[in-house]
Amino acid sequence: MSKIAVVALSGGMDSLVTLAEIRAKGYDIAALHFNYGQRTERRELEAFHAICDHYAIETRLVVDVAYLAAIGASSLTDPSIEVERANLDRTGIPSSYVPFRNANILAIATSWAEALGASAIGIGAVEEDSSGYPDCRREFFSAFERVIELGTRPDTHITILTPVIGYRKAEIVRRGVELGVPFELSWSCYVRSDIACGECDSCALRLRGFQLAGIEDPIPYVVKPRYG
Amino acid sequence: MSKIAVVALSGGMDSLVTLAEIRAKGYDIAALHFNYGQRTERRELEAFHAICDHYAIETRLVVDVAYLAAIGASSLTDPSIEVERANLDRTGIPSSYVPFRNANILAIATSWAEALGASAIGIGAVEEDSSGYPDCRREFFSAFERVIELGTRPDTHITILTPVIGYRKAEIVRRGVELGVPFELSWSCYVRSDIACGECDSCALRLRGFQLAGIEDPIPYVVKPRYG
């Protein structure tokens, strides 16, 4: 009997390498993507499908979690904001931390995993780069595993896999190269959807990772500053 | 300083009494409602707003979680179902258990609670009536509290309130009457949106509760069988 893992795949490099690590462990992959009204939503979705095509992953689920962005924004603006309205009009996502975001992602992934009979869920959380994000820490994932054990059917047992949690970006790049991941299909830029800007936080982290690893990033950039 | 609780309010009687219990403890309420493509979605949303109006609750959030119904269905039908499509076309909800549903609800409630600065979240889970639903048990909620503690900001502390978890339906009715809740504004029927059918599982549980409590249910029914 094959074992299945539900993997959250944003289209960026961390989740791509996470996917490759979990495949390398022998899991069949069910790929889960989240739209949340971010500026580059379509580009990320395109990357998601391109990566799934590359690995011949047929089981895909795209979930709209625009309410998370609305909730994040509401703390700054209007606490009584209606999510449906925000869903329709929202084009940008606030750069602020979205409270408890990973718990939402894990809950959806677990629901789908239990429905599919999967034995694991994977997420590309990175402890190092996310200092200050409490829901990227190992203890958080351990505690969530206990919630899964208690909150699902008695015969359901689901492990949380976070293979890149201890890596720095340069290690993620190196490991991705070892695993032969298609970095050219991934997308990280928060600002543009045609050519990566090279200057947003996400581009900067990615470029620094490639530069420190001494590897050329295969995607095109408008500008390619030296961050390493 | 006032203390705030985010309360999940379906429009049914369990969550209504939960809301009243939490109000009675001195919390200001932020009310959270979920649409998931159920047949009576509009009627339940109407009940939600009527109950909020009754208690002068201004802080309201309505979240679309249609993907949960799609995930629940996918276990029976097509595992690669796309949620967006299901969102558009779905009119009924499968009667089957939605895996890990309460974890999804708690995750969203916690995100909103942290954004609002709330110190509690409330949910109308009932252990007795939900035997077989693992995510209605006390241990599940305790474990989730630990996840909240680890997954939110260091200065965020959120308690999960489940005031009716140990009640049977008749006790919920009696307690609701003591607290003066507007049962006439609540809606439980899964089938009809004008007059409750009296024959679906949800009507049967509700009617039995009122009958065992010896109290007349104020909402109209097409038929009113004796269940007690």
Tell me whether residues B99 and A111 touch, CB distance under 8 A.
yes
Which residue in A42, A112, A114, A138 has the most chain B C-beta atoms within 10 A of its own C-beta, making it the best mutation to test that interface? A112
Could you write out the DSSP letters of every residue in chain A? ---EEEEE--SSHHHHHHHHHHHHTT-EEEEEEEE---TTHHHHHHHHHHHHHHTT---EEEEE-HHHHHHHHHTTS-TT--HHHHHHH--S--SS--TTHHHHHHHHHHHHHHHHT-SEEE----TGGGTT-GGGSHHHHHHHHHHHHHHS-TT---EEE-TTTT--HHHHHHHHHHTT--GGG----SS-SSSB-S-SHHHHHHHHHHHHHT----S-BS------
Tell me whether residues B111 and A98 touch, CB distance under 8 A.
yes
Q: Does residue B65 sit within a domain? A: yes
Touching check for B227 and chain A: CB below 8 Å? no
Chain B residues touching A82 at Cβ < 8 A? 60-62
Chain segment B3-29, per-residue pLDDT in tens:
999 999 999 999 999 999 999 999 999
pLDDT above 90 for B131: no
Q: Binning pLDDT at 50, 70 and 90, where does residue A39 land?
A: confident
pLDDT above 50 for A92: no
We report the CATH number of the domain holding residue B118 as: 3.40.50.620
The pTM of this model reads 0.89
Q: Tell me how many domains chain B contains.
A: 1
Report the gap between the CA of A211 and the closest CA in chain B (Å).
32
Tell me whether residues A112 and B74 touch, CB distance under 8 A.
yes
What is the longest distance spanned by two Cα atoms in chain A?
Answer: 53
Name the least confident of A72-76, A189-193, B149-153, B207-211. Answer: A72-76
Q: Binning pLDDT at 50, 70 and 90, where does residue B103 land?
A: very high
Residue from B115, B173, A209 nearest A201 by CA: A209
Over range A131-140, report the average pLDDT.
81
Touching check for A119 and chain B: CB below 8 Å? no
Q: Does residue A213 sit within a domain? A: no
Tell me whether residues A100 and B84 touch, CB distance under 8 A.
no
If you search the block for the tokens 């307690």, which residue do you land on? B175
- Helices A101-116, B101-116: axis angle to 10 degrees equals 170
CB-based contact B167:B21 (threshold 8 Å): no
Beta bridge partners of B8: B32
User: What residues contact residue B223 under an 8 Å CB cut-off, 6+ apart?
Assistant: B197, B198, B199
Could you write out the DSSP letters of every residue in A137-199? SHHHHHHHHHHHHHHS-TT---EEE-TTTT--HHHHHHHHHHTT--GGG----SS-SSSB-S-
Nearest CA in chain A to B98: A111
Q: Does residue A78 sit within a domain? A: yes
Facing B100 at nearest CB: one of A59, A67, A110: A110
Report the gap between the CA of B6 and the closest CA in chain A (Å).
12
- Helices then strands (H, E): number in chain B? 8, 5
Over range B67-73, report the average pLDDT.
78
Q: Which residue has the higher pLDDT, A95 or A190?
A: A190
pLDDT above 80 for A127: yes
Tell me whether residues A59 and B79 touch, CB distance under 8 A.
yes
How confident is the model at residue A73, as a pLDDT? 57
Touching check for A147 and chain B: CB below 8 Å? yes
Instruction: Return the SS3 of B50.
Output: helix
Composition of chain B by helix, strand, coil, percent to 5: 45, 10, 45
Name the least confident of A168-177, B86-95, B171-180. Answer: B86-95
Q: Does residue A197 sit within a domain? A: no
If you search the block for the tokens 């609750």, which residue do you land on? B57
Over range B72-85, report the average pLDDT.
44
What does the mean pLDDT of chain B come to? 87
Touching check for A53 and chain B: CB below 8 Å? no
Facing A71 at nearest CB: one of B82, B101, B115: B115
Residue from B102, B82, B97, B86 nearest B14 by CA: B102
Q: Which helix (H) or strand (E) holds B64?
A: strand B60-64
Q: Does residue B55 sit within a domain? A: yes
pLDDT above 60 for A117: yes
How confident is the model at residue A86, as a pLDDT? 32
Nearest CA in chain A to B147: A143
CB atoms within 10 A of CB A25: 12
Cα(B53)–Cα(A36) distance, rounded to whole angstroms?
Answer: 30
Touching check for B60 and chain A: CB below 8 Å? yes
Chain A residues touching B110 at Cβ < 8 A? 99-100, 103
How confident is the model at residue B1, as a pLDDT? 54
Look up the domain containing B45 and give its range.
4-171
Fill in the DSSP letter of residue B153.
-
Which residue in A111, A142, A156 has the most chain B C-beta atoms within 10 A of its own C-beta, making it the best mutation to test that interface? A111
pLDDT above 80 for B153: yes
Touching check for B115 and chain A: CB below 8 Å? yes
Q: Does residue B72 sit within a domain? A: yes
Residue from B150, B149, B157 nearest B118 by CA: B157
Q: Binning pLDDT at 50, 70 and 90, where does residue B84 land?
A: very low
Over range A124-151, report the average pLDDT.
86
What does the mean pLDDT of chain A come to? 87
Over range B45-71, report the average pLDDT.
94
CB atoms within 10 A of CB A56: 7
Q: Binning pLDDT at 50, 70 and 90, where does residue A135 land?
A: confident
Q: Binning pLDDT at 50, 70 and 90, where does residue B220 land?
A: very high
Q: Does residue B94 sit within a domain? A: yes
Fill in the DSSP letter of residue B26.
T
Nearest CA in chain A to B115: A75
Chain segment A189-221, per-residue pLDDT in tens:
988 999 999 998 889 999 999 999 999 999 999
Q: Does residue B81 sit within a domain? A: yes
Facing B137 at nearest CB: one of A72, A103, A150: A150
Q: Which residue has the higher pLDDT, A31 or B129?
A: A31
Tell me whether residues A115 and B71 touch, CB distance under 8 A.
yes
Q: Which residue has the higher pLDDT, A68 or B150?
A: B150
Nearest CA in chain A to B151: A135
Touching check for B147 and chain A: CB below 8 Å? yes
Assembly ipTM: 0.87
How confident is the model at residue A75, as a pLDDT? 39
How confident is the model at residue A145, as a pLDDT? 98
Cα(A29)–Cα(A57) distance, rounded to whole angstroms?
Answer: 6
Tell me whether residues A83 and B75 touch, CB distance under 8 A.
no
How confident is the model at residue A38, as a pLDDT? 78
